[in-house]
Structure formats: C-alpha cells, structure tokens
Copies of this chain bind each other. A is one copy, B any other.
Amino acid sequence: MGQRYRGIIFDIDGVLRRGGKPIPGAAETIEYLRGKRFRIVFLSNLSTRSREEYVDKLRSLGFRVDPEDLVLATSATAAYVAKHCRSGKVYLVGHAGLRRELEKAGLTIVEDPEEAEFLVAGSPFDEKGYVTEENRWKFTGAIRAILVAKARFVAVNPDKLFPGSDGKPIPGTGTFLGAIEAATGVSPIIIGKPSTHIYRIALDKLGTQPEETVMVGDQVYTDIAPAKKLGLTTVLVLSGLTSREDLEKMDPGLRATIDHVIDDVTQLPRLLEG
C-alpha cells in the first residue's frame, strides 16, 4: 500500500513511548521511514509546553526530532488563532509554554481581557492541581473577554482530568472550560484532539493531502476517528491504551474508523510497503 503515501502523523504517548520509556524499535522505525522519504510529524494534545521545551523530552528518549517536526495542541492553537485573529490581540489562560507558542506565531498577549479579540484557554492548573499564581484572576478575565469584549473563544484541548503524580485525578483544560461555559453559555472552538483542527494543522505542516497521509495512534476516539473524518488512512497500534479486547467490545461505528491494526509501530514499514 506504500506508493500512495507521502506523510505520516505519529501520536506520541502509547505509540512512541509508554510510561516514560520509548517503545523498543520505535526510533529506528522512524529513521527507516524517513530514509524512505516519508514526511513525518509528531502530534500531542499537550497544553502546557512549547515545542522547544518538549523536543528535549523526546530526544532524551532517543528520537531524532526538531521543534518543527512537532504539532502540539499549544502550537496548533497558536497557528489557528494567528490565521483568524485580525488584531493579533489575545487574552491567555494557561501556561508559559502556550504563551511562547502564541508569541512565536506573532500574537500579542493582552493583560486586559476587554482588549482581546480572542480568548485562548489552556489549563489554569499546575501539575499538582493548584490554580497557578498567574491564573488566579483568569476565570474572571475569561468571562469578561467573552461577555464584555465578545472575544472568540478557542481552547487548546477538551481534556478534563489527568492522573496526578499520586495516580489520583487532577483537573485539566476541560475542567476550566466547564466553568467558563457555565458562566457565559458560550462553548469554545476546540483545537486539540478529538477535534479535527489539530489534524488540519498537521496536514498543513506536512504539505500532504489527506488521502496520501497516514495517522498512527493508540486511541480510537481521540486519535483515529477525527483523522478518518478528514480522509486520512488510520492505523491503530496496540502498544498503548487500546487492547484487542477493547476492540471487540467497541461500538461498531467507532471501530469502522480504523483502517489497520498493528501490534506496535515497528510493524508499520511492512504495512506501508506490503
């Protein structure tokens, strides 16, 4: 099936790494595919870091990767807003990594929500589950951006909960969005998975058409289904959060969005060249 494909989008967690360790053979597989002239990007729903910060993490796992090879929810949001925001004025809720991506995209972060044309919402919570010092007023700021300034409301991802370092839940962007939607009655445009926006941004970066692009992910609802919706070929790996048993119990409509199933990413070259 290989000749028609020119681009590959790799989800990271569960595909290239698992529990902080690389999937054995994954880095070599990437290099092999690059040697075969496939264009490759790595995609993550991360809302807190810039590409410059995240690239070090992947390199430490043995992957050869540059910031330009990454499509994060932060950088995809910055790309989306830069395309649609005329004044360039953005009110920001979230972390320094998101701020850096917005600034790198040429946007201006305003302190006064009433000056904003866009409200960009990431998570106001830190990794221990505290509202960070710089985000303490941001619930109010976000509400005023929407209700007073009529700013357009864009969110990095809809992820409500994460496991904390103690394994218990801590809130993410989606929990903040619940507060703002309750207060204003306005729902955001979501950029990260399972929205298709982040996949459009990834295609823009690859410079490929959907029909010549493959998405490799470990979760059907968040990775596979939106990619399929855009017309990409989808490959599910079983090295992450989805097992064969899960597939058997899955809603048939959702399962139908999967084109191919492989054990892990090392089987991808054979699939593409078979």
Interface-facing stretch out of A71-79, A132-140, A259-267: A132-140
Within 8 A of B (CB), among A163-201: 164, 168-171, 174-183
**Shortest distance from the beta carbon of A42 to any chain B beta carbon, whole Å:** 28
Interface-facing stretch out of A58-66, A98-106, A143-151, A213-221: A143-151
**Residues in chain B near residue A139, CB distance under 8 A:** 125, 129, 131, 171, 175
Cα–Cα, bound, A129→B131 (Å): 13
**Residues in chain B near residue A176, CB distance under 8 A:** 179
**Shortest distance from the beta carbon of A216 to any chain B beta carbon, whole Å:** 30
Q: Is A255 an interface residue (CB 8 A)?
A: no
Q: Contact: A169 with B144, CB < 8 Å?
A: yes
Q: Which of A129, A143, A168, A182 has the most CB of B within 10 A?
A: A182
Q: Which residue of B lies closest to A138 (CB)?
A: B131
Q: Contact: A171 with B140, CB < 8 Å?
A: yes
Q: Is A272 an interface residue (CB 8 A)?
A: no
**Residues in chain B near residue A178, CB distance under 8 A:** 178-183
**A143 touching B161 in the complex, CB below 8 Å, given contacts A171-B179, A179-B179:** yes
Q: Contact: B125 with A130, CB < 8 Å?
A: no
Contact with B along A9-35 (1 / 0, CB 8 A): 000000000000000000000000000
When the two chains form the complex, which single residue of B131, B168, B175 contacts A182, counting CB atoms closer than 8 Å? B175
Q: Is A205 an interface residue (CB 8 A)?
A: no
**Residues in chain B near residue A147, CB distance under 8 A:** 169
Q: Contact: A136 with B143, CB < 8 Å?
A: no
When the two chains form the complex, which single residue of B131, B144, B160, B164 contacts A131, counting CB atoms closer than 8 Å? B131
**Shortest distance from the beta carbon of A117 to any chain B beta carbon, whole Å:** 18
Q: Contact: A175 with B171, CB < 8 Å?
A: no
**Residues in chain B near residue A169, CB distance under 8 A:** 140, 143-144, 147-148, 183
**Residues in chain B near residue A143, CB distance under 8 A:** 161, 169-171, 175
**Residues in chain B near residue A183, CB distance under 8 A:** 160-161, 169, 171, 174-175, 178
Cα–Cα, bound, A177→B130 (Å): 17
Q: Contact: B140 with A129, CB < 8 Å?
A: yes
Cα–Cα, bound, A228→B109 (Å): 50
**Shortest distance from the beta carbon of A246 to any chain B beta carbon, whole Å:** 21
When the two chains form the complex, which single residue of B130, B136, B137, B179 contacts A175, counting CB atoms closer than 8 Å? B179
**Residues in chain B near residue A182, CB distance under 8 A:** 160, 174-175, 177-179, 181-182
11 pairs, A vs B, C-beta closer than 8 Å? A128-B140, A130-B136, A139-B171, A139-B175, A140-B164, A140-B171, A143-B175, A174-B182, A175-B183, A177-B182, A178-B179
